[in-house]
Structure 1
Amino acid sequence: MVEDEQGAAAPAGTGISTSLRILLAVLCGVAVANIYYAQPLLERIGSDLSIPRANLGVIIAIAQLGYLVGLIALVPLGDLVNRRKLIAIQIGAAAAGTTLVAFSTTSVQLLVGMAVAGLFSVVVQVVVAYAAAVSAPAERGMNIGVVTSGVVIGIVMARTASGVIADLVGWRAVYAGSALISVLLAGVALARLPRDKRVPPERTYARAVVSVITLTATDRVFRPRAVIALFLFASFGVLWSGMALPLSADPWHLSTTQIGLFGIAGLIGALGATRAGRWADRGKQQRVTAIGLIVLMISWVFSAQAPHSLVLFVIGVIALDFAVQAVHVTSQNRIVAHAPESAGSVVGSYMVFYSLGSAIGAMSSAAVFASAGWGAVCVLGGAYAAVAFCVWAVELRGLSYPARRDRRQRDSTPVSCR
């Protein structure tokens, strides 16, 4: 049972209000931004703390590592403890990490702060699982779409706003401001989120933690969607981790701030996919996935034009973010609907594949660009998308096989006559 905003008891899964939906989206956006603030600030941070340029990538990597650990160790707690309190505590803990970053005087302090911020920023997935669990089945996809749109907005705002703030008042103000906002939101979450009255399932923490292994090995709904996420976000990571390379080179020579503005194009595409959740609610999950993956493959044709046309490149960015968000929302809706009582473990396990895919895309993008240029990078991104499409095709074939088998059995059954 959960309480609604007026304090009346209501059973889990009966739906959430518009204001609560917006609050959950804001929580997600503020939390996920902690991981992406540093991307346009690396040069400034390195100069201030005397970190060699060759080692600046560690700042991003340590936050991602903390996030990956949090997905495995912290997100499953959402199935076992009071989610309302857990969300508030994790937001507050992330604020402690960004505070340490803001006041760090050594590289060690900085990296510890980034690791802590990344670790507790997994509250994003606790919030997504919470929204899915308390949603009525008919609106679960829509709610997941709205809440995860907050994630996309947070990523875009982190990349675009942090550079502007750093230019005005310094890079430390970015993290100090994030800490202050996070503390305020922790209080709002504690006051406004419906009280968690559900009875936790009879399962241990250890069992919840190893769910990423057990789900992948045994769940035929989860497994293909997790693998699709791996290659989906590998393709996503190729673009967003590698786009600065051609845009900062001939003939454009764009600045970090200018490159960050391309995030707005990504935001347009991602927000355009918010209706994917509604389509999924209407039973169109497979169709949305197919269209999304086809659009993703086509987007790389436009992205490949980055050295020649910024307009075509922007079209590619919009198409890619639309496709990724549409498939992402649909996949989460599908796996949570299959096991709503374990939403935290399911979403956390799914996001492990998301993180691995993003890391693979980022690392492979830089390596391929250095050896073969932007054209080869785009072929790589398209190849990841094509593999995701093939996995979906195998999933669809597996879903249709039982129906074909049952039809054959009916056709072969003799008709008795009296």
Structure 2
Amino acid sequence: MSTPATDSPAAGRSLPALLFLLATIAGVAVANIYFNQPLLDDFRQSFPQDASWIGAVPSATQLGYAAGMLLLAPLGDRFDRRRLILLQIAGICVALLVAATASTLAVLAGASLAIGILATIAQQAVPFAAEIAPPAARGHAVGTVMSGLLLGILLARTAAGFIAEYFGWRAVFGASIVALVVLAAVIMMRLPRSQPTSTLGYGKLLASMWHLAVELPGLRQASLTGAALFAAFSLFWPVLTLLLAGPPFHLGPQAAGLFGIVGAAGALAAPRAGKFADKRGPRAIITFAIALVALSFVIFAFSGASIAGLVVGVIVLDVGVQAAQISNQSRIYALKPEARSRVNTVYMVAYFIGGAIGSVVGTTAWRLSGWTGVCIAGLVFAGLAAWAHAARHEKGLAAS
């Protein structure tokens, strides 16, 4: 049974201000797993002896995020989320410092793994919003924080590209430390404590998520579909940096980062996707979203030397991935309302494992087959998502 926060928003704190703070926490935290994507060419130049495996850096970050989702996110039901957020901020600052001073690519990849694990602060912010909001405003509260998270994803590449262009890639990690320290100071002054809602031991919390995955075929299907689409998304963004760095573009990390602003179309699509999912059901929106992702890679295949074509493809890709994400989450939350945090953890772990696989496949395809190979790989992942989404033979899938 849910228990109200120890410090209610009414006690000297306005709900909109708290939601804005939680949205900022989610956005600043999740940005850390995307900072390295526009920096791959810079990493290659700094560590030329390890240039063949620079894709390990974004992959390690996303695998870390998946591990953090599995190992840390469930703790929000057991301990005060405010304390967990502050502890994770302290840890991620240490990991960012190691990344900023890394002397080898192996050290950078190890620090990136730790950054990914600790960046799951974002997954404490969303259920925190649901806890502090009254029932009538809960959906709006969660949506507000999710908007902050989405903006963090989209603008991270832009910020990283700009800072790296003028101050070098190491300054990107330093700037994030400054932002997190300032954010921690605000959290200590403004964020209330939360009240634990579960007495389950740590082992039982983790075990319950396995049981949910076994029990709910709709959750397994949504997780595979989401993982495949995020793999397609994640294979594109690191390789975009490499494409723009070579002929005919010869552009630096700032140009690659600016494509994050183009991706703001995905943020605009997210609330509309939610409304359409309510009216027509999430399955129809997910089907359309998969088609958009496949179409984006067809556009990319003909745009290897065209900025305009790449811009159009990015818009189509981001709209497709975000529409599928919102619809998939709408679908899984209805499967087991009393276990939404753990259901979400199962889904998001699969989602970011897919992202890590996509990053490796993307950089490998680029090395072996160039831009054409990357586009084919993206189409393969879109096809895998379509196959998973079409499977309705298991009991309960047709209705979910």
> Does TM, normalized by the shorter one, top 0.5?
yes
Compared CA separation, residues 224 and 61, structure 1 to 2 (3 A): closer
Stretches of structure 2 that go unaligned for 5 or more consecutive residues are none
CA deviations over 1:373-399 (Å, ceiling 9, x no partner): 433432332332233233333359855
**Which residue of structure 1 lines up, in the alignment, with residue 346 of structure 2?**
349
> C-alpha displacement at 1:194, in angstroms?
4.1
- Separation in 2, partners of 1:396, 1:314: 38
Compared CA separation, residues 37 and 250, structure 1 to 2 (3 A): same
Is the contact made by 1:232 and 1:388 (CA closer than 8 Å) also made in structure 2? yes
> C-alpha displacement at 1:318, in angstroms?
0.5
What aligned pairs does 1:4-403 form with structure 2 within 5 A after superposition?
4-7=8-11, 17-42=15-40, 44=42, 52-104=50-102, 110-132=108-130, 142-197=140-195, 200-280=197-277, 284-395=281-392, 399=396
Under a length normalisation based on structure 2, what TM-score does the superposition of the two structures give? 0.85
CA deviations over 1:107-162 (Å, ceiling 9, x no partner): 67645543332221111222233335556677655544443333332233322222
- Separation in 1, partners of 2:257, 2:28: 18
- Separation in 1, partners of 2:109, 2:362: 24
Tell me which amino acid in the other structure corresponds to 1:266. Answer: G
> C-alpha displacement at 1:43, in angstroms?
5.0
SS at match of 2:197: coil
- Separation in 2, partners of 1:61, 1:227: 18
When the two chains are superposed, the root-mean-square deviation of aligned CA atoms in Å is: 3.3
- Separation in 1, partners of 2:23, 2:390: 32
Compared CA separation, residues 106 and 363, structure 1 to 2 (3 A): closer
Tell me which amino acid in the other structure corresponds to 2:200. Answer: R
Tell me which amino acid in the other structure corresponds to 1:188. Answer: V
> C-alpha displacement at 1:353, in angstroms?
0.9
> C-alpha displacement at 1:25, in angstroms?
2.1
- Separation in 2, partners of 1:246, 1:105: 26
CA deviations over 1:225-266 (Å, ceiling 9, x no partner): 111111111121232233334444443343332222222211
**Which residue of structure 2 lines up, in the alignment, with residue 409 of structure 1?**
none
Identity fraction in percent? 35
Compared CA separation, residues 109 and 227, structure 1 to 2 (3 A): closer
> C-alpha displacement at 1:359, in angstroms?
1.8
> C-alpha displacement at 1:60, in angstroms?
3.2
Worse overlay, 203-212 or 102-111: 102-111
> C-alpha displacement at 1:223, in angstroms?
1.6
- Separation in 1, partners of 2:115, 2:383: 34
- Separation in 2, partners of 1:124, 1:140: 17
Tell me which amino acid in the other structure corresponds to 1:288. Answer: I
Tell me which amino acid in the other structure corresponds to 2:10. Answer: Q
Under a length normalisation based on structure 1, what TM-score does the superposition of the two structures give? 0.81
Is the contact made by 1:285 and 1:334 (CA closer than 8 Å) also made in structure 2? yes
Please say which structure displays the higher CA radius of gyration: 1
Tell me which amino acid in the other structure corresponds to 2:234. Answer: G
Is the contact made by 1:247 and 1:307 (CA closer than 8 Å) also made in structure 2? no
**Which residue of structure 2 lines up, in the alignment, with residue 416 of structure 1?**
none
Is the contact made by 2:69 and 2:345 (CA closer than 8 Å) also made in structure 1? yes
Is the contact made by 2:63 and 2:353 (CA closer than 8 Å) also made in structure 1? no
Stretches of structure 1 that go unaligned for 5 or more consecutive residues are 10-15, 404-418
Worse overlay, 100-109 or 178-187: 100-109
> C-alpha displacement at 1:182, in angstroms?
0.9
> C-alpha displacement at 1:49, in angstroms?
7.3
> C-alpha displacement at 1:401, in angstroms?
5.7
Tell me which amino acid in the other structure corresponds to 1:100. Answer: V
SS at match of 1:237: helix
> C-alpha displacement at 1:48, in angstroms?
5.7
- Separation in 2, partners of 1:194, 1:251: 53
Tell me which amino acid in the other structure corresponds to 1:26. Answer: T
Worse overlay, 323-332 or 333-342: 333-342
- Separation in 2, partners of 1:257, 1:322: 22
Is the contact made by 1:142 and 1:277 (CA closer than 8 Å) also made in structure 2? no
Compared CA separation, residues 125 and 233, structure 1 to 2 (3 A): same
> C-alpha displacement at 1:337, in angstroms?
4.2
Tell me which amino acid in the other structure corresponds to 2:351. Answer: Y
> C-alpha displacement at 1:206, in angstroms?
0.9
Compared CA separation, residues 294 and 55, structure 1 to 2 (3 A): closer
Compared CA separation, residues 103 and 368, structure 1 to 2 (3 A): closer
SS at match of 1:243: helix
Compared CA separation, residues 5 and 202, structure 1 to 2 (3 A): closer
Compared CA separation, residues 382 and 103, structure 1 to 2 (3 A): closer
> C-alpha displacement at 1:90, in angstroms?
1.6
Is the contact made by 2:74 and 2:206 (CA closer than 8 Å) also made in structure 1? yes
Compared CA separation, residues 359 and 278, structure 1 to 2 (3 A): same
Is the contact made by 1:76 and 1:209 (CA closer than 8 Å) also made in structure 2? yes
